[in-house]
Structure 1
């Protein structure tokens, strides 16, 4: 049996598996970033796409490749490395599961990408019916989801093995967090798997004539909102566990960190209706219930903010920081491993405020389906999460490849984060402002119906193009840094930083690892929030879908 004790260095075989995921993730960053640049240039009216490429084609590439491919591959690669580092080297069977999952996801990604590039799947990131894609697109998405389940099974198996070999002990914090995010992903993706396999794929193959659009949208958003937390929780893993070690501090509380992750598992899934507040066919009472559940996610978010800034302040004061904010100056601002994720943390403050607006019934009426929502996504995923992923990359890639983060690359990484922040300020800020003026999302300059109103939006579209161009420069820099760290940086040993709790005598309550309790509560909340509304939706389906064979 292989070791189940924490490793100082990730095993080379596990590192190879993790790096395979990261390579695909950064290829996705290149392709999705280019599509994003073309998108903002077209929207500004300054570019016409050549060779018959359509605006909605590049919009689909940008959303699917960055929102689904980049994130899923990076997160699984990071979590596999984290589990190997903290719970011990994966067994041959667990590693085999990881590789099977990787190749299934890669094959599915290639299938979906080919269909998008052939303009046979320009159905946007949400692939809502009645937009219809080629069957291979849906099959590709299915393989990506199934592959992620198989890769996630390796993480679950490693956790089970550790618990079996260490009865009565709390699991390593990073392993615990990776497990929670894996469970959240598996439960959430059941919704998108259901709508693809039961509705959209048979419809695309011509086996049925109609689909129930409201059912498909509801199943998508059952998945679509927890997807945000699947993106976010790995960033929280870095903020809670890794950043304290990087700055030389301690984790404020191991138990508080675990409890916050459990709360995200409970409250992030049964809340999809807050994305459907303007849709008919769903009883307002159930929408209200899910809005309330949505706001409960604020609790673990505030717990996280308190824990992080307590860690920073205690470290800064230990370094001699005086006065109310003297500790702030003592933080290691010259270390990209800290500074880049910290910028991501700060961006999450306005991003969270925007999320509260999106989830609020009356305020949502102002911004629903405007480009405000796109700006919100770019603050949450494309800034808070992505900058944290970049910060992880700066130590994870050299750790896995046996190289060093040099002073030159460290300095370039900070420059990259500054460029990214400037570009996102222009682009996301302009999106929020234009959204308040009613500018629609998913629309190009040429599709605006009201010419007079379109003129009002032009300055904001140009600002988006400026911001998008600056962001593309940031992508080029990031790809250069990644390639350097993966292949050309000097040989050496880079630490995989894992923090320790400030109070080493703190006893972590074992009920936090009672998965019958937490998964049972999760299932109960989901059934409570969705069972009756689903029955209503299906029973009151419009005439065209009442006879739908598959329901």
Structure 2
């Protein structure tokens, strides 16, 4: 059915979207518990029971939260956006369920291999670390399932456009299509690496693996992955938050242009994660650093648009003083507060990203826990708090319940708990990283050495922050259960903002998919063709023996 923000979903649709939400919050609990154990071990105050390996829980934490939670939430949320704006047919619904079950099978395969100690290869699964073949096959199935979801979304927009010839596509449907296009193009890299390199190597069909090529293909995917997480947050900021604060969409054209720019400049930039690696010509590293900094433009466009929405909404309500509009924003509404704190966290998070992508400064913090702190500011604060803010209205809308004043208050408490815990943990990570503390390693048991002992102090601070965060996770899981099963029956609005009545028409060129996808592919070919040929020509295929210990 073709729906809008005043209509409820059918029960069949709601079941699909909620299925993704259930996996999301199960993942939040499991991944959060692993994160808590990880910080406690690093503090030197706790030893894992039953001979559980530290790197096993580190891998579970990264994979479950960085890949499983985010992917399931995003796909479920985006399915709901498409259902609201362009509709979904029964046939598309069946294919969407197929995507879910393919991803579930892959997720279970991957999780089991990690939990039994056969895949302690961390979130990045760099060679020469080698996992059980089922780990890589599971990853491939998760990616294939997500591709099925992407093509359902593409089909939904195509059908709508065919039925509404000459009309501008709904903004949120346009945004979802951009995000899934980016995901599909980017995940081709990691999929080819897994299928062509890792699976044959792990099965014993080949004895060696080209390590540099595998890392290059991973980071071709790894940086766009960050934007795959971030763009759904942008969707909420641009087109949902204005409705929550009682305003309207600031500029449809600006929103579409920013997403187009993010599509073009988020993929051909992977080398800025490989600035310290040999085998890649420095010229190409520099070119990709320049392309990386191009994403500053759509980021600033987004910041301008969001705060322009805040100000114009406030002034329309009669607040004429310089910052009167700011003081009168709905601070007691968790649907607004959680995403807003996520927006604020993106300021230091973005500044840290500039450090990471810069040649000279990257040399200082590369492979230190500064990078982990940055990751927790952007993904675990900006993105996750926005996802939490979405959950407070999406889940009750899907389940036919209401966000009550009591649950809203608990949500505000959860938001502050999360913010405080993350500020402590991420702040300690940043400081320890500037002092040279390495990422991924557990130094709590090292004896002697003034620098190591100094690192341990900051690891203790991380454990304190992690413990506070776990309290926030327990509260969020409780809120999800309440909103899904126990909150009073009612109707919770799906808050899609309307465009201003006198808004300028959106240029048709912004929906010229051939043009923007063509430019994106051209940039990718420009940034990667010669470096990849150089890697294939000059680097050896690898000297990693097949009997390298599994998982370590």
For normalisation by structure 1, the TM-score amounts to 0.97
Q: Which residue among 428, 449, 452 is the counterpart of 2:450?
A: 452
The reply on whether 1:389 has 2:418 as its aligned counterpart is: no
Which of 500, 510, 516 is residue 514 of structure 2 equivalent to? 516
Alignment check: 8 A CA contact 1:226 1:269 kept:
yes
Equivalent position SS for 1:51? helix
Q: 8 Å contact 1:258–1:512 — kept in the other structure?
A: yes
Could you say which residue in structure 1 is the equivalent of 2:221? Answer: 223
Q: Which residue of 2 aligns with 1:272?
A: 270
Q: In structure 2, do the counterparts of structure 1 residues 519 and 249 end up closer, same or farther at CA, with 3 Å as the change threshold?
A: same
- Quick one: distance in 1 between partners of 2:530 and 2:274? 16
Contact 1:321 1:329 (8 Å CA) reproduced: no
Pairwise CA distance, 1:318: 2.2
For the residue of structure 2 that corresponds to 1:506, the secondary structure is coil
Equivalences for 1:179-198 in 2 at 5 Å?
Answer: 179-198=177-196
1:316, CA displacement in angstroms? 1.6
The aligned residue for residue 31 of structure 1 is 30
Distance 1:538-1:415 versus aligned 2 partners, 3 A rule: same
Contact 2:41 2:47 in 1 (8 A): yes
> Is the 2:119–2:135 contact (alpha carbons within 8 Å) kept by the matching residues of 1?
yes
State the SS of the aligned residue for 2:292: helix
Q: Which residue does the alignment assign to 2:69?
A: 70
- Structure 1 CA distance, aligned partners of 2:409 and 2:491? 19
- Ranges of 4+ aligned residues in structure 1 off by more than 6 Å: 4-7
**1-structure distance, mates of 2:147, 2:460:** 41
Equivalent residue number for residue 466 of structure 1? 464
Aligned to 2:338: 340
Instruction: Spell out, residue by residue over 1:39-71, the C-alpha distance to the aligned partner (whole angstroms, 9 max, x if none).
Output: 000111111101111110000000000000000
Following superposition, the deviation at residue 509 of structure 1 comes to 1.2
Cα offset, 1:4, TM superposition: 7.0
Native 8 Å contact 1:25 1:71 kept in 2: yes
Instruction: Tell me the residue number matched to 2:232.
Output: 234
Give the alignment of 1:245-264 within 5 angstroms.
245-264=243-262
CA distance in 1, matches of 2:390, 2:325: 24
Cα deviation, residue 285, structure 1: 0.2
Q: Is the CA contact 1:105–1:143 (under 8 Å) kept in the aligned structure 2?
A: yes
Q: What secondary structure, in the 3-state scheme, does the structure 1 residue paired with 2:197 have?
A: helix
For residues 509 and 363 of structure 1, do their structure 2 counterparts lie closer, same or farther at Cα, with a shift above 3 Å needed? Answer: same
Contact 1:372 1:434 in 2 (8 A): yes
In structure 1, C-alpha distance between the alignment counterparts of 2:9 and 2:536, rounded to whole Å: 50
CA distance in 1, matches of 2:478, 2:5: 32
Please give the root-mean-square deviation of Cα atoms over the aligned residues, in Å.
1.6
After superposition, residues 335-374 of structure 1 pair within 5 angstroms as 335-374=333-372
SS in 2 for 1:314: helix
Aligned residue for 1:303? 301
Distance 2:206 2:182 in 1: 32
Contact 2:3 2:84 in 1 (8 A): no
| Partner Cα distance (2:41, 2:123) in 1 | 18
- Taking structure 2 as the reference length, the TM-score comes to 0.97
Taking the aligned partners of 1:545 and 1:122, their CA distance within structure 2 comes to: 21
Are 1:284 and 2:270 counterparts?
Answer: no
What's the offset of the Cα at 1:11? Answer: 2.8
CA distance in 2, matches of 1:371, 1:477: 27
Q: 1:144 is matched with which residue?
A: 142
- In 1, Cα distance between the equivalents of 2:339 and 2:5? 25
